[in-house]
Amino acid sequence: MREVGIVGIGHTKFGKSAVPFLDMACDAALQAMDDAGAKTGRKNVIDQVFIGTMAAGMVQRISGLASAVVDTLNLRPAMAETIENGPASGASAVKLGYMAIASGVCDCVLVVGAEGMRAVTGWEGTDFVATMLHPEAEYKYGITLPSFAGLFTRLCMDKYGVTSRDLSIVSVKNHANACLNPNAHIKAVVKLERITDERIINATNPLVADPLRQYDMCPVSDGAAAVLLVAKDKQEELGFGHKKFVKIAGVGSATDTHVVANREVPTDLLAVRLSAQMAYKMAGVGPEDIDVAELHDAFQILEIAESEEVGLFPRGTGHLAAREGKTEIHGEMPINTSGGLKAKGHPLGATGVSQIVELVKQLRGEAGERQVPGAKTALAINFGGFGNNVAATILTTK
């Protein structure tokens, strides 16, 4: 298969965007193009633009976002499509970028993930996110993402002995990492002793969905991230020869039952496992080869459960690994060096691309204080719905 890699990355500051949605998406895209330093100029090098976004239409009343980005950045007549797969829209767009180049139709693809979520608040915000649930069996009855996460967390507590303190350990690690990331939404030094099981039960951290409280959830963020993909055999010719080529070694995605209640084992995240297996197989690597991972911690339990499903830790031991500090930047298996969704923020469609941007930085050795020494192979898991559509990506510089 044709070798495809990343030669440019871009990332806005996550949080509340100071500029309109379209400008924010274009900002990330321009950064990725500048980072790649296309000597041939911006026009006519990029064959295709994919934008990953869940709710540009629903929230921003903008459809055809991909066309708008192409025109604003003067990339005409590049091909352009918008890709939607809920919170996994970003990784899906990267996967399609890979396919577009591997197919031979394109040589260079710009992938942008973008979401503007802070335009809506409260009930309305929870509602548009919940449209990713099953339209007949779930959404109609008012079930939300946090309610699924609460149920899932409780099941893992009962089955594996995960504690509220373990959840807080994940939060503390990710907030510490985010303090080292200039693009993170929330920079707060959170000390574990201040958020013991007793401490969190108070009015400033209200219960959302038992056992989860407000600060167990990722924040609501605006944000955009972008990557420039190129065929290895065209890297030189297109003017990207000076950039370190971070190879997309594997892409995988998989679906699980859309109706969460239909799953045989409700603590399993089958689509995480299958998407990772597909990506491992394509890349010819296994969990033992992964030096750093970005996992989809919209809720802390997901980081723990995903770390098991992708084989980084045996089943039921992810929380023990977190307790032992194994998932810290200088632990044996660093996870979410970026700060993760919990602290870096989670602009739905941007997240999957943001994860790739962090991993490219790690593999280039450009992660600064967050650098995992000698990282060569990396894994990202981007989680759509409540695990009903998951995308895995493996990058390598080996």
Q: Which residues bind a copy of itself (CB under 8 A)?
A: 1-2, 20-22, 54-55, 57-58, 60-64, 66-68, 70-72, 75-86, 92, 95-96, 98-105, 131-132, 134-136, 139, 251, 253-259, 270-271, 274, 282, 384-385, 388-389
339 φψ region: left (φ > 0), alpha (ψ -120 to 50), beta (else): left
Contact in structure between 357 and 7 (CB atoms under 8 Å): no
- Least spacing, CB of residue 69 vs a copy of itself, in Å: 9
- Least spacing, CB of residue 108 vs a copy of itself, in Å: 14
- Least spacing, CB of residue 314 vs a copy of itself, in Å: 23
- Least spacing, CB of residue 345 vs a copy of itself, in Å: 20
Contact in structure between 300 and 342 (CB atoms under 8 Å): yes
Q: Which is nearer to a copy of itself, 13 or 95 (CB)?
A: 95
- Least spacing, CB of residue 204 vs a copy of itself, in Å: 32
- Least spacing, CB of residue 222 vs a copy of itself, in Å: 15
Q: Which is nearer to a copy of itself, 104 or 374 (CB)?
A: 104
- Report whether the peptide linkage leading into residue 211 is cis, meaning its omega lies within 30 degrees of zero: yes
Q: Which is nearer to a copy of itself, 72 or 205 (CB)?
A: 72
Q: Which is nearer to a copy of itself, 270 or 322 (CB)?
A: 270
Q: Which is nearer to a copy of itself, 174 or 253 (CB)?
A: 253
- Least spacing, CB of residue 276 vs a copy of itself, in Å: 12
104 φψ region: left (φ > 0), alpha (ψ -120 to 50), beta (else): left
Q: Which is nearer to a copy of itself, 93 or 172 (CB)?
A: 93
Please give the structure tokens belonging to residue 278: 């597909």
Specify the 3-state DSSP secondary structure of 209: strand
Question: At 91, which helix (H) or strand (E)?
Answer: helix 89-102
C-alpha to C-alpha distance for 6 and 227, rounded to whole angstroms: 7
Rounded to 5°, the CA angle 136-140-142 comes to: 140
Residues facing residue 159 across a β-bridge: none
Question: Please, which residues have CB within 8 angstroms of residue 290's CB and are 6 or more apart in sequence?
Answer: 310, 312, 333, 377, 378, 379, 394
- Least spacing, CB of residue 131 vs a copy of itself, in Å: 5
- Report whether the peptide linkage leading into residue 77 is cis, meaning its omega lies within 30 degrees of zero: yes
Question: Please, which residues have CB within 8 angstroms of residue 336's CB and are 6 or more apart in sequence?
Answer: 173, 174, 177, 293, 294, 295, 297, 303, 327, 342
Q: Which is nearer to a copy of itself, 78 or 226 (CB)?
A: 78
Rounded to 5°, the CA angle 46-48-49 comes to: 100
Q: Which is nearer to a copy of itself, 28 or 54 (CB)?
A: 54
